[in-house]
Amino acid sequence: MAENKTQENEASVKDFINSIADATQKADCKIFLKIFEEASGYKPKMWGKNIIGFGKYRYKSKSREGDWFLLGFAPLKGKISIYTMYGLVKPKDLLDKLGKFKIEGTCLHIRKLEDVDLEVLKQLIQKISDITIETCKTII
């Protein structure tokens, strides 16, 4: 059975965020960090080189088995991506009020925090976190 290349590791989340060259993205990531930690109730952990994940669950599919984060985000070139495990259909009411973003699969991409309503973003992350925790069968 194949194993994920992206694994939880002991790298410092703080050091990673402080290494971000773009000052706006670095500041935005510090705010994301606080929002995600409060919404999920989990401490941040690095997954791979650039994903900050919160919580962990065990999954098994036909081709893979492993651990994955419940909720996470990653600063990428020109955007910050929010990773969810189930997709973004259920919180449509909040998405309608969020602001400028793009969705690809189970990822929500935001260029910068000033493009979105911060209070709606907090509510969205809380709702995604609640749904994700309810959905997971084995939370580690």
Q: Is the pLDDT of residue 139 over 60?
A: no
* Interatomic CA distance for residues 137 and 89, integer angstroms: 20
Query: What is the arithmetic mean of pLDDT over 108-119?
Result: 94
- pLDDT at residue 32 in the model: 95
pTM above 0.75, yes or no: yes
pLDDT tens-digit readout, 54-111: 988 887 778 778 888 888 999 999 999 999 875 555 678 898 999 999 988 888 999 9
Token reading at 17: 């965020």
Question: 66, 87, 79, 94: which is closest to 22 by C-alpha?
Answer: 79
8-139 architecture in CATH?
Alpha-Beta Complex (3.90)
The partner residues of 80 in beta bridges, in order of sequence, read: 75, 110
Which residues lie across from 9 on neighbouring strands?
46
Query: pLDDT band for position 140 (50/70/90)?
Result: low
Q: Are 66 and 58 in contact (CB under 8 A)?
A: yes
Task: Provide DSSP, the chain.
Answer: -B--S--EE---HHHHHHT-S-HHHHHHHHHHHHHHHHHH---EEEETTTEEEES-EEEE-SSBEEEE-SEEEEEETTEEEEE-SS-SSTTHHHHHHHBS-EEETTEEEES-GGGB-HHHHHHHHHHHHHHHHHH-SEE-
| Domain boundaries defined on the chain | 8-139
Residue 28 has pLDDT above 90, yes or no: yes
Q: Render 17-39 in DSSP notation, one character per residue.
A: HHT-S-HHHHHHHHHHHHHHHHH
